[in-house]
Amino acid sequence: MEKNHEIPQIKPASVLDPVVRDIPEIHPANKAIPMQRQSTNTRSTKKRTFPKRVFLVVAVVLGVVAILAAIAAIPVYGVYKEGKVLAAKAQDLKASVATNDISVVKAQLQSFETELSVFQKKYQTIAFLKPVPIVGAYVRDGENGVQAGIYGINAGKIMLETVEPYADIIGFKGAASKTATSGAENANNRLEFLINTIKSVTPKIDEISKNAALAEKSLEQIDPTKYPTEFRGVKVREQLTKLLEMAKEGTSLLAQSKPIVQQAPYLLGVDEPRRYLLIFQNDSELRPTGGFLSAYSIIDISKGKFHSVSSNDIYGLDDKYKPSIQAPQIFPDYLAGIYVANNKFRLRDMNWSPDFKTSMEMFLPEAAKAGLSGFDGVIMVDTKVLRNILQVIGRVGVPGFGNFGTQTDARCNCPEFIYVLQDYTSVEGPVVWSQNEPGKIVFAPANYGKNRKDILGVLMNSVLSNTLGQSKEKLPALFQAAWDSVAAKDVQMYMFNKDAQAALESFNLAGRVQDFDGDYLNVNNANLGGRKSNLYVSYETAQTFKRNSDGTVEKTVEITYKNPQKYDGWLNSVLPTWTRVYVPKGSTLIKADGFETPGDTTEDLGKTVFSGGFKLRPEGLKKITLTYKLPGKYGSSLNLLMQKQPGVEGLYTISANGQHEEFNLLADKKMIIRL
């Protein structure tokens, strides 16, 4: 049994509670959130707009300072007493963000800075204790916490100064925002102002990034494992670990924001117009990067304004392409059709790698052979982007195509916009391809190809014009919709410019399969049936960890697929799925159950891959269970990175050492697993 250090005088409830409660996740990658000992369902976590989350970073960092101040100051009551005042000030700062008033936040930040200065002077009086065993470690942690707080304050002050002219855009009120805009302005006016002034933000972001990086470095010096597991009914170590990880997550986010802000003028066509290939992925027919490559549009962007040049259907492009790259054997086995006669990749199936860049590096050179070229990069979106936007702006009418809204349509028991999209981008009835003449259709239903090439460009223009015409009061919600789409990887980007691509990757906007030192899980599914059956499927993934006496870890992953909807032969039918589970390289498979067509264990993208196929029927359920041994040996904990597949929203549960946690995986997520 672990021996806890006895720490006298501290009153954890009065110090820890104010700064730990209701602190949100910060980064789209959902980094490093330690597990709770009780079942925790985070599905109903209250959302805050991204900029407000960033402001909370400062409060979280300063909360760490307050906790460490109290713990490290135990030998001197005066310092401990001052630490309690500091904790209260940190709580006031956190609460000020909820007022949505920049002037209030600035005042509370100034108040905390003043109190931290007083505390720092008081704290210096116990510096002589640093050489003392046990106690000295706490004193040093307190110093690191104070230093992190100073850097955090510096970052916060610069950040407030930077965003004040855009206060109304991010959902804040304040004197500067009132004078900067008029009530008659709409979203387009404010976005134009943002685009035109974005270069002035870059130098300030550089300062914010430097201070955030220094704060993160100071926090990394603090080891929460030496603190008591529990003291007077309060789980000290667990709460401190959680707060430290959130603080480091926030500072990391700020540090990583520098490259994307620096490249924003390039990406938004501020200096010169950019041309992008916009590809629409249909996540109702799931593929490795998020959906079937259904349609595409060429768009121009100049000073942040988008203009659609042309739109087309992916089949029209494929008609001009001569297949030349060998496809996997599962294509003729599952997709059949033209792949039986000629098992070479068609353009529409080239997003076969779960790594977006890898897929694009296959697709783009081949698409150029069919005449698709002359752009600066690729933007990939799926239907969930449209859902997020429509939830803010409401129903949109598109001449010639119908109405698009998020309310349930009885014709499909799905959102209205999904029905309208599927009605124009998919067909009712089978399409029969010639096995002797690749690319030739022997039979197709009467509505095959109906307006398919036009809808993407027309819909995009309609949604954009409606979005930019909204009142500026809706901008915070629109920013949140964009943030949710980016975090979930429902928007992925690939740029030919190396600096722009590096910036996208640093901010997790590029759909990359990441390298990671620790445990890793990426469940990747591909619909190889040609139907839209993923529309109704739900996904649940349970992970169970077992640490052996020799330090090795066995892990069981159980994936449950459910389709509650009845068969209709169009949007819902039998779903042939090929699943690849990416795990740490060197993992050893012990047992696999549930696959009807077991695949080989392979290596890809620096990972070991377990794979197999199965068919999920309407009103059916399917479970895939994998048990494997992780490479290496572990102590009391291990780091875990879960990367979600674009286009999928699934429930995850984790069980280890008597602990249990449940959450919806809405973005890539890092956790610390206590073994």
Please state the three-class secondary structure of 612-668 as a single string. EEEEECCCEEEEEEEEEECCCCCCCEEEEEECCCCCCCEEEEEEECCEEEEEEECCC
pLDDT digits (tens, 9 = 90+) for 465-508: 788 788 877 888 888 898 899 999 999 999 999 999 999 999 89
Q: List Cα–Cα distances, 602 to 564, 593, 611, in angstroms.
A: 33, 17, 8
Share of the chain above pLDDT 90, in %: 42
Residue 669: strand pairing partners? 642
Token representation of residue 442: 């022997």
Q: What is the mean pLDDT of residues 279-306?
A: 92
Residue 274: strand pairing partners? 301
Share of the chain above pLDDT 70, in %: 80
Quote the pLDDT of residue 13.
35
pLDDT for residue 249 is more than 80: no
CA distance 414 to 393: 19
CA distance 185 to 166: 13
Q: Judging by beta carbons within 10 Å of its beta carbon (0-12, 13-18, 19+), is residue 137 exposed, middle or buried?
A: middle
Look up residue 237 and give its DSSP letter: H
pLDDT digits (tens, 9 = 90+) for 632-643: 999 988 999 999
Mean pLDDT of the chain: 82
Q: What is the mean pLDDT of residues 307-313?
A: 83
Q: List Cα–Cα distances, 348 to 313, 317, 321, 533, in angstroms.
A: 10, 9, 11, 18
Quote the pLDDT of residue 478.
86
Report the candidate in 667, 471, 632 with the shortest Cα–Cα distance to residue 555: 632
pLDDT for residue 609 is more than 90: yes
Q: Domain ranges in the chain?
A: 51-267, 274-506, 519-674
Quote the pLDDT of residue 654.
96
DSSP 3-state assignment of 275?
A: strand
pLDDT for residue 44 is more than 60: no
**Cβ–Cβ < 8 Å for 342, 326:** no
Token representation of residue 374: 């002359």
DSSP 3-state assignment of 381?
A: strand
Between these two residues, 111 and 653, which has the higher pLDDT value?
A: 653
Q: List Cα–Cα distances, 148 to 57, 123, 251, 330, in angstroms.
A: 12, 15, 10, 53
pTM here? 0.80
Q: How confident is the model at residue 126 (pLDDT cuts 50, 70, 90)?
A: confident
Token representation of residue 19: 């700064």
pLDDT digits (tens, 9 = 90+) for 510-529: 999 999 999 999 999 999 98
One-letter amino acid of 608: T
Quote the pLDDT of residue 560.
98
Contacts of residues 328-337 at CB distance under 8 Å and 24 or more positions apart, as own/partner, are 328/352, 330/528, 330/578, 330/597, 330/599, 330/613, 331/528, 333/597, 333/613, 334/528, 334/529, 334/576, 334/578, 334/613, 335/528, 335/529, 335/530, 337/433, 337/530
pLDDT for residue 304 is more than 70: yes
CA distance 594 to 646: 24
Q: How confident is the model at residue 559 (pLDDT cuts 50, 70, 90)?
A: very high
Report the candidate in 455, 318, 453, 434 with the shortest Cα–Cα distance to residue 386: 455
pLDDT digits (tens, 9 = 90+) for 376-406: 999 999 999 999 999 999 998 887 777 889 9
Q: What is the mean pLDDT of residues 418-434?
A: 68
pLDDT for residue 5 is more than 70: no
Q: How confident is the model at residue 191 (pLDDT cuts 50, 70, 90)?
A: confident
Q: What is the mean pLDDT of residues 429-450?
A: 60
Token representation of residue 583: 């795990």
**Cβ–Cβ < 8 Å for 573, 618:** yes
DSSP 3-state assignment of 111?
A: helix
Look up residue 416 and give its DSSP letter: H
**How does 31-64 read in b/e, with b if 16+ C-beta sit within 10 Å?**
bbbbbeeeeeeeeeeeebbbbbbbbbbbbbbbbb
CA distance 350 to 575: 20
Q: How confident is the model at residue 589 (pLDDT cuts 50, 70, 90)?
A: very high
Report the candidate in 292, 346, 341 with the shortest Cα–Cα distance to residue 323: 346
Percent helix, percent strand, percent coil in the chain, to nearest 5: 40, 25, 35
CA distance 102 to 624: 51
pLDDT for residue 31 is more than 50: no
CA distance 510 to 504: 5
pLDDT for residue 231 is more than 80: no
- Topology of the domain comprising 519-674: Immunoglobulin-like (2.60.40)
CA distance 158 to 154: 6
Quote the pLDDT of residue 77.
57
Sign of CA dihedral 473, 28, 153, 211: negative
CA distance 121 to 247: 24
